[in-house]
Structure 1
Amino acid sequence: MVVDDEPAMLTAMRLLLSKTAGVEIAAMLGSAAEAIAYAALYPVDLAFIDIQIAEDDGLALARELRRAHAGLDIVFVTSHKEYALDSFDVYPLDYIVKPVSAKRLAETVARAASVQAQKAYAGHAEAEKEIAAETDRQPSLTIETLRGLRIASNAGGAVKWISRKSRELFAYLLLYRGHAAAKIRTLEDVFPDRELKSSDLYLNTAVYQLRKALSLHGMKDMLVTDRDYYLLQLDRTRVDFIEFEARLSQFRAINGSNEAAAIAVEQLYTGDLFEDLPYEWAIAERERLRDLYEAFAKRLVRYLLDAGRTEQGMQIAKKLVQRNELDEEANLLLFRTLAIMRDNASLQARYKRYEELLDRELGIEPSTEMIDLYRRLV
């Protein structure tokens, strides 16, 4: 964000920053109060602050922002060289004397990006150390079910399945999220083509093979069986689809304070549940999770476009259309994004592709709403 009481300076900084690679302008503000209020609501990595902001003290503003946001980098932009020494008690990233050149600004932004990357790396490394210290104390499993099924332990790497049915049994019990699955229902779903007597034998064999595969990773006791039910204990596991749904449930609304978290949740959804695996019993749950993801992703795109985060909105809108090219709402969002970016060529090409798909796959034309919106946007 840029804080300066001179409108001409704000205009000049907006022009220079908009041409600087890797920069997204969060806000152009004219007072300390506005800056403090904005930073309290929205994430900011870098602040350009004039030392004299009308009646406000830029140094005092910098100290206030630094107290509230320790990770914020500050650059003073001013006509007054004499304040340089006073400014260093807030440890600014840089001190630029007006007039500001594009080259000087680009150097400062590059330095800020390098500092931010170092902070992120240090924080990530520290987090990894803490996680490693915790997980090394006992065996645990990481279970990835979105876009297939991949399971690995901290003790022995990837789990190697003895048979396809033992893997399917594991996947089936996962959907119960640590609760018991009735034996009779398990037989019907996992062994639908077997007679009851023979399917019971096959189930016992799959249970034995599953336990054997898990025992190599110190997780033999994860599978609990009884005469009438089976269950997987998930207390030492991280399951991606369970984590995705739990984090998704936290978003009643998307706003500046949870924007980054919302984007992180969207990125968790890397594909559909047990994608490309022929598990008929998983179809309903797969469709439910897909619907949850798509509804959330569309909300997120609309928020990002309204907030001026067009590039991020574009990435998610493209992902939605790639998942289902016939989804009208996803196409509408992509059209809107292309229009904001003034990319008429891509907008027209995307609309033609959508029109051709509808005709070829369904034998219909785009809806009146779609046609009207397209004409207005173009």
Structure 2
Amino acid sequence: MITALLADDEAHALSLLELLLHQMGEVKVVGCCSNGIEALEQIVRLKPDVAFLDIEMPGMNGLEVAERLEAASSATHIVFVTAYDRYAVSAFENDALDYLLKPLEVDRLHRTVNRVKRAIAYRRAEEREPAPAVTEPAAGAPGNLSVQLLGEIQVSIAGRGRLKWRTSKEKELFAYLAVHYGSRVHRDVLLDELWPDEHYQKAKVYLHTCVSYLRRDLRQLGMEDAVIYEDEKYSLIPALEHSDYREFVETAATLLSSGGNHADSLERMVALYSGRLFRSEDYQWADEEVRHTEAAIEAQLLRLTQIYENQGDYGRMIAAGRRLLQHSPYNEEAYRILMKGYAGSGKHDEVYRVYEEMERKLDELQIQASTMTLSLYQGLKVRKQG
């Protein structure tokens, strides 16, 4: 006999489901409740084989109950009961054994009960089998995980391919959790940041949909339990927190604390930067992180050009100046660096070309070059003529 707990805030829906299960003769209902908080308490206490959870319930909805049970490694199977259409419900299949649509259909309920029976039998068979011996990974096994946030957002594992995002919000959720590495982000913060204009209850459904997608897609890459949920807070497993962005930020902090005057260290940091944070996206919540990252790369490139100038390495000085100009095309300092680099290399025609390029750019802003830039340019012209 299967033991079941039922949770639905609609009394008639709860009574109907209890009656239908009783008529089948294969399910014993051990508890009924009208809200998610009570459902969670009873599941933990009664440990039923299956819980039939309505998605929309006050206080804590069915999705949140399932989330907490997963975090607690509960053995109770979940079946969602909902009025959502099939397309919307498909997002929750990863977190549940099955789902039922309202109004309930007897034949569909029979199929669900049979699925629950098979799942219970499979689990019990697994528990009887001895645990497999732990072996070393075979040669040629999939390589390391790669998480890229600078430039395009990408998650991949060598030998297993790259994660393909189902929706833009799934990708945004991952980006938010990844850029806030080392933190557990409260559910309500995610709702405010990712769905600021949506009704609270609807936003919660959207969030759980994205979490479900993300867990399923990361599982296909061989990463189990990749999204952690605890005390209404979300985070990624440690492996997913190690991204190019994290390495860039931590390297920048190390350079800042040490003075950062060694070309090798600065070059390693610059090499980490493969593009603007979330380059193809427009995440308003990320504006501060983007500004800090851009400011950090520009500051390090400026330090590099100064080191190269002091060393008389004008080729690298010019290359660093060009890269600086890519980040900040209206930055007069970058143009001054290029003019000095080309002058030091004896390429005076390039000095004039850079100055003309700068004038065209500043004309777009309807401003003129500063006195400092004009003085440098005049001095370089005099030096050439001399």
TM norm structure 1: 0.60
Matched, 1:334 2:334: no
Q: After superposition, what is the alpha-carbon deviation per residue over 1:154-212, rounded to whole angstroms, capped at 9, x for unaligned?
A: 35110122222111100011111131011111001111231111111100100000000
Residue 135 of structure 1: how far off its partner (Å) = 11
One-letter amino acid matched to 1:147: G
On the 8 A contact 1:139/1:218 being kept in 2, the answer is: no
Match 1:298 to one of 298, 302, 311: 302
Distance of aligned partners of 1:136 and 1:186 in 2 relative to their CA distance in 1, 3 Å threshold: farther
- 1:368 aligned to which of 355, 365, 371: 371
**Runs of 5+ consecutive residues of structure 1 not aligned to the other structure:** 1-132
CA deviation after TM superposition for structure 1 residue 152, in Å:
0.3
Q: Which residue of 2 aligns with 1:176?
A: 180
Equivalent position SS for 2:239: coil
Secondary structure in 2 matching 1:194: coil
Offset at residue 254 of structure 1 (A): 4.7
Aligned residue type for 2:168: R
5+ residue gaps in structure 2? 1-136, 382-386
Residue-pair matches, total: 243
Q: C-alpha separation between the residues in 1 aligned to 2:355 and 2:138? A: 51
**Cα distance in 1 between the residues matched to 2:287 and 2:203:** 22
**Where has structure 1 moved over 4 Å in runs of 4 or more?**
133-140
The one of 247, 251, 276 aligned to 2:251? 247
Deviations 1:131-169 (A, max 9, x none): xx8997887521111112111013511012222211110
The yes-or-no answer on 1:323 pairing with 2:327 is: yes
Contact 2:142 2:157 in 1 (8 A): no
- Aligned-residue offset at 1:242: 0.8
TM-score by length of 2: 0.59
**Whose radius of gyration is greater, 1 or 2?**
2
* One-letter amino acid matched to 1:246: E
> In the alignment, does 2:203 pair up with 1:199?
yes
Deviation at 1:337, TM superposition (A): 0.8
Preserved CA contact (<8 Å) 2:187 2:233:
yes
Aligned to 1:220, what secondary structure does the other structure show? coil
Q: CA deviation at 1:295?
A: 0.5
**Which amino acid in the other structure matches residue 374 of structure 1?**
Y
State the 1:347 CA deviation: 1.1
Q: Does structure 2 conserve the Cα–Cα contact (< 8 Å) formed by 1:140 and 1:237?
A: no
Q: Are residues 190 and 282 of structure 1, via their aligned partners in 2, closer, same or farther at CA, if it must alter by over 3 Å?
A: same
User: Are residues 1:262 and 2:237 paired?
Assistant: no
**Per the alignment, in what secondary structure is the counterpart of residue 147 of structure 2?**
strand
1:308 counterpart letter in structure 2: G
Is it true that 1:218 corresponds to 2:230 in the alignment?
A: no
- Seen in structure 2, the aligned counterparts of structure 1 residues 193 and 311 have a Cα distance that, compared at 3 Å, is same
- Which of 265, 284, 288 pairs up with 2:288? 284
Summarize the Cα distance change of 1:135–1:319 in structure 2 as closer, same or farther, 3 Å threshold: farther
Aligned partner of 2:278 among 269, 274, 277 = 274
